Structure 1
């Protein structure tokens, strides 16, 4: 679709197309389809060419970003230096400058907001990957022993040596969405031409780590699950899995041990008390259900009034769990009233204060309400 270039605002026709690009790139970021290896390798060649580099002599495919981290971490002199900045950051700055001469900054900002919104689910995937790919802390002497030229060690000396700085994933290529729209809809093809290879990479694989002579590429996940809040979540198995089997089990955005999800019947008061991670412990209580946790004696009654019962478990002075037990005032069809446990801040002193907090109110303001739900 080609329409006239806007001056300071998009036309209604141009605005209407934004949602299509938003949906397209959301699908790209969250894709669990196997990588198109031929297309990805061709995209890498184009990206190297756009950066003024010769195409890599070798492509090495990995089944997950963790495998990529492990294999690319053994890079030697034969693989050449990392060229991520040359093929990713340099073209981005160049294209931004060229497009900036043709489009008003207000238009560019509108396009960026519309087609490349924050994606919490994809960001959580990146966080899970980074947790397993710690920064490499090789000394300068060790780098020299491995055959690294002195110039290669400069990024390490400047604090840029980990996987985050040497590799790139789908989450970091989503900025291409805005330029995809600008090229197709606004017609700035010459200005965005250096990005052709990067577009092909972004739509064809999961991760890559480019060096001068060797380019490591990784598959996409073959399973990605989230909850309504776009947090990594699965109540029945891994929330994230890659083709080589590397998986992450998560409950509402918190990574938990595999057994917590797949063998919830093994969650006991003792296992909860023995868990040192506060977030994981709260997930265990939620999976067990607060009702059962309280029934088994996991928490003590702190306060009770006409609004409900406040329960709390304290492990350390700053480490506690609290929930308010309430009864729904609206009866069910059979005349019964549902009972709920709502997790609340641990500094609540009364049930009324805790219930008021769930409504975003102070206790005195809640007390003045005529109707209570």
Structure 2
């Protein structure tokens, strides 16, 4: 293969040093454009993906590899193990995987050379980042937040949260971990690419032509494929998920998404590999298919147990598990709602209690979610349990006007 068959993702190289309102709105458009690819379930564009990887090999002074396509990362793990590819991993600096990783890392550093990495740790910069995370890009710019901070908070961070920190860990649960093996996540690395394009568009990067070309290669991999693994003579390429189900992340300002499906796997591949996720929590399949009180009692992971109970519904679970009501009281911070304190089931092997409460704010559908909180066993009453969750006494909690 002689050339990477992809078009330029920044064809006009427009530099907007003083963005107007419409141009600032384009920041969100850049984020959403790459989010769509990060969530894509289309079959891989194999020709483009192979050509992009081949160019990375050539840049590393290596011959183009043999490409092996598999239907899922799980299948890739099985192939890597069966063929002994992991046992041949070289940790030397000139190993192809390490060379590609270093080349991309250095290019990203050069792209952002205007701001040293340590500046992001300054207290004023950290405060600006936190402020921009809860503001639209337009409002952040109007408030005087630096455009680089807006790009980080409104493009890079939300995409990383949704894709790299959200979807990639779920997929990793169906793969085998190999020491020293470098994994590229393809579409789930869109946060790097989106930030690079935004920095270029608004004149906040100092790339060389070589760095721009590397960004284009990475852009093609995000748009063309899922996960891949580079070895000296072979590159293993995985298809993207065939189904990917998400929901808006509560409180998200920048179109953050989290995995969720109540009735089937949230992530599925064409070979049957799948991951169940409820509201962003990775769970075993029984939590979705058959969440019985007995299975819940045997589960040691608190988040999995909570997800299973909420999937059943607290009222149904309380009845089925035969929980003992210890105390209840009107919720002074949530008019018309009850606080209920239950003893935990003996099978949980804890002396704690469960406080059942109603959320003070409404969900998107207008309802208020009923939820349970585990509290220490020494808490004597429902009011004391509610106060304990806020770090105050029950009498002080009773004086609250409204709880959120």
- TM-score bin, normalised by smaller chain: 0.7 to 0.9
Matching residue of 1:271: 295
Matching residue of 1:65: 73
Give the whole-Å Cα distance in 2 for the aligned partners of 1:36 and 1:340. 42
Q: Is the 8 A contact 2:298 2:348 kept in 1?
A: no
Matching residue of 1:131: 173
- The CA deviation string for residues 139-161 of structure 1, in whole angstroms up to 9 with x for no partner, is xxxxxxxxxxxxxxxxxxxxx52
- Is 1:196 the counterpart of 2:216? The answer is yes
Give the whole-Å Cα distance in 2 for the aligned partners of 1:233 and 1:222. 15
Give the whole-Å Cα distance in 2 for the aligned partners of 1:367 and 1:114. 39
- Is 1:232 the counterpart of 2:259? The answer is yes
- The CA deviation string for residues 170-219 of structure 1, in whole angstroms up to 9 with x for no partner, is 33453122222344554957242233222211110010101232111111
Tell which deviates more after alignment, 233-242 or 315-324: 315-324
- 1:154-165 matches, within 5 Å, as 160-162=179-181, 165=182
Q: Which of 354, 357, 363 is the equivalent residue of 1:322? A: 354
Q: Is the 8 A contact 2:45 2:225 kept in 1?
A: yes
Give the TM-score normalised by structure 2.
0.69
- 1:246-325 matches, within 5 Å, as 246-263=273-290, 267=292, 269-307=293-331, 308=338, 309-314=340-345, 315-316=347-348, 318=350, 320=352, 322-324=354-356
Cα distance change, pair 320–240 in 1 and its aligned pair in 2 (3 A): farther
Give the whole-Å Cα distance in 1 for the aligned partners of 2:396 and 2:295. 39
Q: Which of 383, 390, 399 is the equivalent residue of 1:352? A: 383
Matching residue of 1:207: 227
Tell which deviates more after alignment, 20-29 or 288-297: 288-297
Q: Which consecutive residues of structure 2, in runs of 5 or more, have no partner in the other structure?
A: 1-11, 120-145, 250-256, 332-337, 361-366
- The CA deviation string for residues 266-310 of structure 1, in whole angstroms up to 9 with x for no partner, is x2x333323344333322222222112222353211222344331
How far off is 1:135 after superposition? Answer: 3.1
Give the whole-Å Cα distance in 2 for the aligned partners of 1:367 and 1:312. 22
Cα distance change, pair 322–116 in 1 and its aligned pair in 2 (3 A): same
Q: Is the 8 A contact 1:324 1:342 kept in 2?
A: yes
Cα distance change, pair 215–277 in 1 and its aligned pair in 2 (3 A): same
Structure number, greater radius of gyration: 1
Matching residue of 1:366: 397
SS at match of 2:259: coil
- Is 1:20 the counterpart of 2:52? The answer is no
Aligned length: 332
Matching residue of 2:128: none
Cα distance change, pair 92–125 in 1 and its aligned pair in 2 (3 A): same
Give the TM-score normalised by structure 1.
0.74
Cα distance change, pair 3–199 in 1 and its aligned pair in 2 (3 A): closer
How far off is 1:49 after superposition? Answer: 2.7
Q: Is the 8 A contact 2:310 2:371 kept in 1?
A: no
Give the whole-Å Cα distance in 1 for the aligned partners of 2:33 and 2:268. 22
Cα distance change, pair 22–311 in 1 and its aligned pair in 2 (3 A): same
Q: Which consecutive residues of structure 1, in runs of 5 or more, have no partner in the other structure?
A: 137-159, 329-337
Give the whole-Å Cα distance in 2 for the aligned partners of 1:49 and 1:194. 12
Cα distance change, pair 121–14 in 1 and its aligned pair in 2 (3 A): closer
Give the whole-Å Cα distance in 2 for the aligned partners of 1:258 and 1:179. 38
Give the whole-Å Cα distance in 2 for the aligned partners of 1:349 and 1:300. 14
Cα distance change, pair 38–290 in 1 and its aligned pair in 2 (3 A): same
Q: Is the 8 A contact 1:344 1:354 kept in 2?
A: no
SS at match of 2:344: strand
Give the whole-Å Cα distance in 1 for the aligned partners of 2:248 and 2:25. 26
- The CA deviation string for residues 307-333 of structure 1, in whole angstroms up to 9 with x for no partner, is 4331231445647561325699xxxxx
Cα distance change, pair 121–362 in 1 and its aligned pair in 2 (3 A): farther
Q: Is the 8 A contact 2:30 2:194 kept in 1?
A: yes
